[in-house]
Amino acid sequence: MSTVYVGMTDMLMQWGKHELIKQGDRAHGSTPLHYAASRGVPGTVMALLEADKSSAYQYDNEGSLPIHVAAMENKGDVVRVFLDECPGCAEAQDARGRTFLHVAVASRNSTLVLNAYRYFRGHRRHGAERFETIMNMRDGYGNTGLHLAVKTRSVEIFYCLLWNKGIQLNFRDNMGRTALDILEKPVGFNFWLVRAYGVYQSFC
């Protein structure tokens, strides 16, 4: 199936490369790159980016970039292509102020978050620090990645983020709450703490 998509993409680009790549549909403003990201076809995404990398920074009608769509749909291979080919996508924010990592956390896509952590940690120069910087970015509601992990009750993501030295625990959302303030105490807080050690060992 992915071979078919790549072949069709090549034909379309030969017919009218730049016009078609940047063309959004009438219903959602989604470009071919948005659709390729949503379907999780790395080869097609790569072909479109090779033809016009600026399409990676084109928003749909919802204010999402293709990397945000891929993160929402849990398409980790596609997210990696964006990070490799268009590094600026890592910090790019959607209309709600979210990075692709915020979208992944909000969607409870724990595997994608873990793989993103490993991806950045694999870069020798400032990779881990960059991951932490992105997760500490606040969206339009003041949420960091840690806030969203708590709000979605994603225990695995919460502890994967918590063990990063650069994660800021004192950042507050627009309601003045830190991520730890949002935890239901004492029951909720104790529940999360009890699971800490096991999650840390198996997930991070």
The 3-state DSSP class for residue 184 equals: coil
Query: Cα–Cα distance between 164 and 149 in angstroms, integer?
Result: 14
Residues 6+ away with beta carbon under 8 Å from 66 = 31, 33, 34, 36, 37, 45, 55, 56, 58, 82
pTM of the model: 0.82
Kindly report, residue by residue over 7-50, the tens digit of the pLDDT: 455 555 554 455 666 665 566 778 989 999 999 989 999 999 99
Distances (CA, A) of 171 to 67, 93, 197: 25, 18, 24
Average of per-residue pLDDT across 175-201: 63
